[in-house]
Amino acid sequence: MTLASSSTDIASIQQLYETLTRSYEVARDRLGRPLTYAEKVLFAHLDDPSSEPFVRGMSYAQFRPDRVAMQDATAQMALLQFMTAGLDEVKVPSSIHCDHLITAQLGADQDLQSAEVSNKEVYDFLKSVAAKYNIGFWQPGSGIIHQVVLEQYAFPGGMIIGTDSHTPNAGGLGMVAIGVGGADAVDVMVGDTLELKVPKVIGVKLTGTLSGWCSPKDIILRVAEILTVKGGTGAVIEYFGDGARSISATGKATICNMGAEIGATCSIFPFDDHSASYLRSTKRDEIAELATRYCHLLQADPEVEDNPEQYFDQVIEIDLSKLEPNIVGPHTPDLGRTVSQIGDEAEQNGWPTELSYCLVGSCTNSSYEDIARASHVARQAIARGLKAKVPLLVTPGSERVRRTVERDGLLAPLEEIGAIVLANACGPCIGQWKRTDVTEGVKNSILTSYNRNFPKRNDGLASTYAFIASPETVVAYALSGTLKFNPLLDALDGTVLEPPEGEELPVSGFEPEGSGFITPPNDRASVTVTIRPDSERLQALEPFEPWNKETFIGLAVLMKAAGKCTTDHISAAGPWLRYRGHLQNISKNLFLSVNNAFSKRPGYGICKVHNQEEPLPEIASHYKEAGMYWVAIGDENYGEGSSREHAALEPRYMGAKAIIARSFARIHETNLKKQGLLPLTFADPAFYEHIGPYDTIDILDLERLTPNKAIDCLLHKPDGSTESFSVNHTMNERHIEWFRAGSALNVIKQERRA
C-alpha cells in the first residue's frame, strides 16, 4: 500500500499500537501516575518517549505524527515551501483536499463547474505536486477535508496534523488531531519532527444522555460558553464519562471540531462502541477489530476517570440530560444562551430578529446523523404543508455522505421545503458565498450550523449578524424565519414540532466515495510541476533574509489592533483565497479588516511616508519601497481563529520585524516564529496604551536573545522623549535559530546542506 493510499495502512496501525503499549509503560514509569487518554497518544508519538521532556503546559517536545492533511487554500503555500526542500517524495503519508476554493452561488453542479474553470491553474498545480511527491489528491467535489479525513484516515490512538484549524475534528475518532500552519506541515513532510508545547489537559466529564432537540452541537456550544474563546488555549480537551460514551462518532467529531473555537490545541474522545461502529460503517472493519483489542490503551486509565480533579489541569462537568438547545452569537461562539432566551435577547440588543438566511452543513455538522435529524424536521414541515420562510442552504460534508443521504431519501425533504444543496465543500463557511440579497451596511441575521461567526466570516459583510446552532435547530428556524421562535414551545401552523430523530449511521452502510480520489502514479519522476512566471495565483518562493540587528532600530508602528484581531482580520479570506499561492498578490490584503486604534476606518492607518490616512497594505507597501521596517501592535489573543500561515507570511514579506501583543493565539504565534518574525508580549499589558501612531520602537540586545528572558525595548515619541519597556517571548533555542536564520525553512535547508 502506498503512503498516499486512500485508506490507512493496517500494518502501520498495528505497529503504532505496539509502540503505544511500550510507550505507555515508559510514561507510567516516568510520570509515576495514571495517564489520561490524550497523554497516552501523545507519548506514543514522541520522537523519543524515554527522553523527550513532558511537562504539561511547560515543556516543548518533538512529535512524529502519522499523517498530514492539507486543504487547497493552505496546501499551495505549504507545497511551494516543500518543493524548495529538494526531496523526491513526502516522508509521511499526506493528502490534499480541494474544498475551500469553490464559491457557493447556484447549487452543487454549477458551482463545481465554475470552480473547475476559475481554479484550474491551482487545481492543476496541486494535482501535479501530489503526483510528483506521492501525495493523495482529493478532487474538487469529493468533500470537506475534515469529513474525508474522518471517513478515510482517522483511527483511534493516531496523530494527524492538518493545515486547517478544524483538523481536531478527527478527535471524534480518538485521534490527537492538530491544526498547524503550512510551515509545520512542511517540517513533517520533509521528515522532521513537529515541535509542540506539551499541552495541559482539561477534562470534560459528560453525564446523562442527550434527548429531544439536544445534539452534540449543543454540548460544544455549552463548553464554549463555559470556557470562552480563550479557555482552551494550550490545552487538549479530553472528554470522558458515561455521557461521552453515549454519543455517536460523528457527534464527537462535531464537538472536537469546535474545540478550535475555544483555542484548544485539540480535543479527544476515547475509543468506544460508537467508534467501532463508525469504523465498520466506513468499511474499516480491520481497524475496528484491532482497536477493540487494544481498547485498554485507547482510553484514560480507570483511576483518572474515578478521580479526575487529581489528574486533569481543570475539570468541568456537564449533565447532558439537563442541556437545552443553544444558539450562540453574534460575532463570537462563546456568547451563548438557550433557544428559549434568544428572541428576547436579540430584541434587547437590537440584533435583527428576522432571519435572512439559514445554512446547514460544513465540516462541523454534515454527518449522516446531522442530515438525518435535519431531514426529520423538514419531513414534519412537509406534513404540515410548510416551506422554509427564508432561503436555506445545505452543504454535505463529502460525496460519500451526499450519495448516502440521497440514496436514503434524506436530502429530498430538505429540497422540498426549499433548500438548495451546495457542493460538498466549504462555501459560505469560509466566505466563499456570492450573496446577492443584501449589501454591506444592511443589518441582517443569519443562522448556521457552522463553527465560526466572526463578522464577515460567511458573506464578507460586517453588517451580517451570524448565529450558530445545531443543524436540526437551524432547519426549525428556517421554517419560522425569526429568532423570536422557540422550537420547543412555539407552534408552526397550529402544532409544535416533534423533537428530531435520525439514525446515527446508515442502516445499509455508506455508499463508496466515488471517483474523487487520485492515487499518485508509479512513475513519478517524469511528472513536471510548472508555475507560470506571469501567474497571478502562484509564485515560487524566495527565502527571507536572515537576522540583521540594525533593522530592529527605529521600527515604525504600522497599526495597533484594538480588540479582536483574528487571522481573518490579518489576512482576509473570501475573494483573497484566490491568491493563497502568490505571496506578493495576497499581501495586498494585509490587515484590511483590522480595527486600528489609530483610525476610525477598519483596515486604514496613518502613512508616515505621505503623512495621511491610507489602507494598511498600501502603507506597508510604501514602507517596503522606502526600506522602512515596522512592527504591528496586537491586543489580547492576537491571531486567534484559522491557522493560516499567510497571516504570518504577509507581514514578514512586507517588512515587519515583530508583532508586539498583549497575548497570542498558539498557532499564529508558532507561525510567526516559523517565518522569522518575533512574537513578543508586553511584560506590562497596560503598556499597550502608551503606543501612539507616530512612535517608533527599538528592540534591543537581540544578540543576547535567550529562552525565558525578557527583551528590552525603547519607545520613541514624536516629541523626542523616550520610554523603556520590556517584552516577553516563548522562543526556545530552536525558535531562536529560526529567527537568526530568517525562517524555519532556511534552517531546514542549512541542515540539509550540512
Q: Which residues bind ligand F3S (CB under 6 A)?
A: 99-100, 144-146, 164, 166, 362-363, 426, 429-430, 451
Q: What is d(CA 496, CA 489) in angstroms, rounded to the nearest whole number?
A: 6
Catalytic residue among 23, 66, 97, 99: 99
Catalytic residue among 142, 362, 642, 743: 642
Catalytic residue among 100, 222, 662, 735: 100
Catalytic residue among 164, 192, 334, 408: 164
Nearer CB in complex with ligand F3S: 359/628 = 359
Amino acid identity of residue 622, one-letter, is H
Of 700, 692, 688, 699, nearest in space to 721 by CA: 692
Nearer CB in complex with ligand F3S: 422/529 = 422
The pairing of strands 235-240 and 266-268 is parallel
Q: Order of strands across the sheet with 420-421?
A: 336-338, 326-328, 464-468, 444-448, 355-361, 392-395, 420-421
Q: What is d(CA 497, CA 324) in angstroms, rounded to the nearest whole number?
A: 16
Cα dist from 275 to 12, 288, 407, 484, 543, whole Å: 19, 8, 24, 38, 44
Q: Least distance in Å: CB of 122 to ligand F3S?
A: 16
**In the annotation, is 408 catalytic?**
no
Q: Least distance in Å: CB of 100 to ligand F3S?
A: 6
Residue listed under C-alpha cell 509515576: 32
Nearer CB in complex with ligand F3S: 165/275 = 165
Nearer CB in complex with ligand F3S: 23/265 = 265
Q: Least distance in Å: CB of 359 to ligand F3S?
A: 11
* Helix/strand/coil for 661: strand
**In the annotation, is 301 catalytic?**
no
Nearer CB in complex with ligand F3S: 99/635 = 99
Phi, psi angles (nearest 5°) of residue 435: -90, 135
**In the annotation, is 187 catalytic?**
no
Q: What is d(CA 64, CA 214) in angstroms, rounded to the nearest whole number?
A: 38
H/E run at residue 518 = strand 517-518
**In the annotation, is 452 catalytic?**
yes
Q: Are 480 and 391 in contact (CB under 8 A)?
A: no
Q: Least distance in Å: CB of 165 to ligand F3S?
A: 7
Q: Least distance in Å: CB of 240 to ligand F3S?
A: 26
Nearer CB in complex with ligand F3S: 425/656 = 425
Q: Least distance in Å: CB of 144 to ligand F3S?
A: 5
Q: Bridge partners of 466? A: 446
The radius of gyration of the chain's CA atoms, rounded to the nearest angstrom, is 25
Query: If you write DSSP's letter for every residue of 265-310 in order, what string do you get?
Result: SEEE----HHHHHHHHHTT-HHHHHHHHHTGGGSS--HHHHHSHHH
Nearer CB in complex with ligand F3S: 450/629 = 450
Nearer CB in complex with ligand F3S: 461/559 = 461
**In the annotation, is 719 catalytic?**
no
Q: Least distance in Å: CB of 588 to ligand F3S?
A: 22
Q: Are 249 and 275 in contact (CB under 8 A)?
A: yes
H/E run at residue 162 = strand 159-162
Phi, psi angles (nearest 5°) of residue 55: -115, 115
Phi, psi angles (nearest 5°) of residue 542: -105, 140
**In the annotation, is 331 catalytic?**
no
Q: Least distance in Å: CB of 673 to ligand F3S?
A: 24
Residues with a known catalytic role: 99-100, 164, 452, 642, 644
